[in-house]
Structure 1
Amino acid sequence: MDFNMKKLASDAGVFFTRAVQFTEEKLGQAEKTELDAHFENLLARADTTKNWTEKILRQTEVLLQPNPSARVEEFLYEKLDRKVPSRVTNGELLAQYMIEAANDFGPQSPYGKTLIKVGETERRLGGAERDFIHSASINFLTPLRNFLEGDWRTISKERRILQNRRLDLDACKARLKKAKAAEAKAALWSDEVEKAEHELRMAQTEFDRQAEVTRLLLEGISSTHVNHLRCLHEFAEAQATYYAQCYQYMLDLQKQLGSSRGEMLPGTFVGNTEATSPPPATASPTVMPAAAGPAIPTLPVVPTVAGAPDGAPAIEALNPSDVKPPASGTRKARALYDYEAADSTELSLLSDEMITVYSLPGMDPDWLMGERGNQKGKVPVTYLELLS
C-alpha cells in the first residue's frame, strides 16, 4: 500500500512538472526543444493521412449504405463482435413488390408479364449491388479502418509519449539552468548541479530513444499509402464490374420489353426513339389506304406547280435543274441514312452528309427539294434531320 501511494505521488509530481513546463512554454517563459524539419514534415504528413482517410472512409460508407440508421446498426454489431445480419437491398425489395403485384394483377396479363420481367431484372441488380458492397467493404473499407484503429492509434500513443519525454527534457534543462545560477552565488549548490546534469542526461537519452521509435512509425506512412493505393485499385475495379453488370442487365431487359411490347399493346408503339433502319420513303403521288375498316377508293393526288393551268405536269415531272430555290426558306439538313435515288428527279444521299433543302409550292409535304453543289433533286423528309 505504501509502495502504491509513493508511486501515485510520484506520478502526480511528474504530471504537475509537465503541466508547469507546458504552461510556461505557451506563455513564452520557458524554452522548448524543437524537432528537426524532417521530423516535423513526417508529423504533418501523418496528420494529413489520418484526416483524409477518415473523410474517405465516412463518405464511402455513405455511398455503400445511404441509410444512416442502417450504418449505426452495422457499427454497433461490429463493436459487439457480432455478425451483421444480411440486409435486403433496395433493388431486391422492389423486385419482391413487383412480382407480388404481378401475381395479384395476373401473371399472364400484359402488365403482369412486364412486372415480372422488370422485377427479375431488379433482383439481379440488387444481387450485383450486394456483391459490390461486400467486395468494397473487404477490399477497401477494412484496410482504411485497420489503419485508423491500429497503426494510427499506435502512432498517436508514441507521439504522446514523445511529447512527455520532451517536456521532461525541457524541465531538466530548466532545473539545470537554475542550479547553475544558484551555484554562482554559493558553492554549496554544486551537488544540485551534478544531480541536475545527471537527470538531464537521462532525459535526453529517453527523448532520443522515443524520437527514433516515433520516426520509424511515421516513416511507415509511406507503406500505408502503397497499401491504400492497391486497395483503391481494387475498389475501382469492383465498381466498374458492378456498373458493367447493371448495364448488361438493363440491355437484356430492354431487349425483352422491345420484343414483347408489340404483343402486349398492339398498335401503341410505332417505333423506337432511335430508328435502327431507314424508314421507307413515301411516294409522293399516292395516298396510302386506311389501316383498318372497309377499303375506300381513293384518287391519286397530282401535285401541280403554283400558277400552272389544270393538267400541267407535276413537280415530279420537272427537270430538277430548272427548279430555282426560293429567295428565303432554305435550310440545312443532315442525311440520317443512305438513300438511292429512284430516278433522275431524286437526289441520292449519303449518311451524315449536309445538304440544302427547301420546299416548293404544291410539293408533297413528305418530300423536299435538295441541293448538293450543282446537283438537285427530291429527297424524302424521313431521311433528313433538319437543322436550324
Structure 2
Amino acid sequence: MSFGGNMGTMFNRAKQLAAENLSDQAKTEYDPELVALIAQLDKTKEWGKKFLERQAELIQPNPALRAESFFNETLDLKKPEKMTNTERFGSNLESAAVEIDNAASTYTQGLKQFGSAQKELGKSERRFGREVEKCCIQPMKKFLAEDLEAALNEKSALDTLRLDLDVAKNKVAKAKGIVDREKAEKVLQEAQKDFDRQHDFTKVIIGRTLNNHHTNHANQLKELSRIQTSLYRECSQVMSELDEELAKIAIK
C-alpha cells in the first residue's frame, strides 16, 4: 500500500485521527515492547539534544561565540580558530611585560612567565575543544540527524498504516450487504498485512538503533574521560612548572 495514497485515503486518515482525538473511539494498539521502545527513542532524542548543548558549553562557555560558531557551521564558513580567554589573558600579560620595561625587572619577568603559562593552558583548552568536537559532538549530531531520524520515519510510517488499518476495520463494521462486506474485508486483510509487516520492522529498527547508540555513546564518554584526564594532567603540569619558576623570583 502506498503511504502517499490518493485524496480519499488522506481524507479517511484525517477523519480517523480526528475521531480518535475527539472521542474514545477504539484504535489498534502497538504491542507493549514496541511502545516501550518508542518511549526510549523519544527520550533518547530529547536527551541527545541536551547532551549536545552541554558539550558545546563545555568547550565554549560564551553563548555569543557558540552562536557565531553555529552560524559559520550552518553556512559552511571556514573561520580561523579564535584565541581562548586564557590565551588572551596570557598574551596581555606578555605584552604588558614588554611594554613596561621589556621584561627587565623581576616583576615583569613574572608577568612574562605567567603569561606564557596561560597561553599554554589556552592551547590545551583549544586542543581539548577540537577533540570533544570530533569524538562526541559530531557523532551525536550524526546520530540525531541520520540514525534516529530514520527510526522515527519508520515509526511515522507505522502510524500511517495503523490509521489505514483502523479505517478498514470501521468500514467492515459499517458495511451493508454481502458484496460490500466482502470488499471491505479484503481491504482489511491487506491493511492488516501491511501493518503487521511494518510493526515488526519498526520494532527491529528502533531496537537496533537504540542498542547501537548506547554502545557508541558509552564509547564516546570513555573517550571524553580520556581527553579530559589528558587536559587536566597537561594543565597541572604547566601550573606546577609555573609555581617553580615564580618561586625563584624575588619581586622587589
The residue that corresponds to 2:197 in the other structure is 209
2:147 matched to 1:141? no
User: Would the alpha carbon gap of residues 84 and 167 (structure 1) be closer, same or farther in structure 2, given more than 3 Å must change?
Assistant: farther
Q: Once the two structures are superposed, what CA deviation does each residue of 1:278-329 show, in whole Å capped at 9, x if it has no partner?
A: xxxxxxxxxxxxxxxxxxxxxxxxxxxxxxxxxxxxxxxxxxxxxxxxxxxx
CA distance in 1 between partners of 2:140 and 2:92 (Å): 37
Report if the CA contact (8 A) 2:124-2:231 is conserved. yes
CA distance in 1 between partners of 2:218 and 2:162 (Å): 35
Q: Which amino acid in the other structure matches residue 216 of structure 1?
A: V
Quote the sequence identity (%). Answer: 34
After superposing the two structures, state which structure 1 stretch, 210-219 or 222-231, moved more. Answer: 210-219
CA distance in 2 between partners of 1:217 and 1:142 (Å): 22
Report if the CA contact (8 A) 1:42-1:219 is conserved. yes
Pairs within 5 Å for 1:238-387: 238-261=227-250, 264-265=251-252
Shift of 1:73: 1.7
CA distance in 2 between partners of 1:207 and 1:83 (Å): 47
Q: What CA RMSD, in Å, does the superposition of the two structures yield over aligned residues?
A: 1.7
Match of 1:174 among 145, 170, 185: 170
CA distance in 1 between partners of 2:23 and 2:121 (Å): 64
Report if the CA contact (8 A) 2:171-2:184 is conserved. yes
Count of paired positions:
248
Shift of 1:212: 2.2
Pairs within 5 Å for 1:105-124: 105-106=100-101, 107-124=103-120
Match of 2:225 among 229, 232, 236: 236
CA distance in 1 between partners of 2:53 and 2:24 (Å): 42
User: Would the alpha carbon gap of residues 255 and 235 (structure 1) be closer, same or farther in structure 2, given more than 3 Å must change?
Assistant: same
Runs (4+) of structure 1 exceeding 4 A deviation are none
User: Would the alpha carbon gap of residues 260 and 169 (structure 1) be closer, same or farther in structure 2, given more than 3 Å must change?
Assistant: same
Q: Which amino acid in the other structure matches residue 230 of structure 1?
A: N
The residue that corresponds to 1:37 in the other structure is 32
Match of 1:192 among 156, 177, 180: 180
After superposing the two structures, state which structure 1 stretch, 58-67 or 225-234, moved more. Answer: 58-67
TM-score normalised per structure 1: 0.61
Shift of 1:11: 3.2
CA distance in 2 between partners of 1:230 and 1:211 (Å): 31
2:62 matched to 1:67? yes
Q: Which has the higher contact order (CA 8 A, sep 6+)?
A: 2
Match of 2:7 among 9, 12, 15: 12
TM-score normalised per structure 2: 0.93
Rg comparison, structure with higher value:
1
The residue that corresponds to 1:50 in the other structure is 45
2:22 matched to 1:27? yes
Richer in helix (by share) = 2
CA distance in 1 between partners of 2:145 and 2:224 (Å): 20
Structure 2: gaps spanning 5 or more residues: none
CA distance in 1 between partners of 2:113 and 2:51 (Å): 37
CA distance in 2 between partners of 1:49 and 1:86 (Å): 32
2:72 matched to 1:77? yes
User: Would the alpha carbon gap of residues 10 and 38 (structure 1) be closer, same or farther in structure 2, given more than 3 Å must change?
Assistant: closer
Q: Once the two structures are superposed, what CA deviation does each residue of 1:22-47 show, in whole Å capped at 9, x if it has no partner?
A: 12122335320011111111111111
After superposing the two structures, state which structure 1 stretch, 50-59 or 162-171, moved more. Answer: 50-59
- 3-state SS of 1:260 partner: coil
Q: Which amino acid in the other structure matches residue 60 of structure 1?
A: Q
Shift of 1:84: 4.3
Shift of 1:13: 2.3
2:149 matched to 1:160? no
CA distance in 2 between partners of 1:239 and 1:175 (Å): 62
Q: Which amino acid in the other structure matches residue 16 of structure 1?
A: F
CA distance in 1 between partners of 2:6 and 2:128 (Å): 52
Report if the CA contact (8 A) 1:105-1:111 is conserved. no
The residue that corresponds to 1:223 in the other structure is 212
Report if the CA contact (8 A) 1:78-1:84 is conserved. no
CA distance in 2 between partners of 1:258 and 1:80 (Å): 49
The residue that corresponds to 1:330 in the other structure is none
Q: Which amino acid in the other structure matches residue 90 of structure 2?
A: A
Report if the CA contact (8 A) 1:128-1:245 is conserved. yes
The residue that corresponds to 1:86 in the other structure is 81
CA distance in 2 between partners of 1:171 and 1:234 (Å): 50
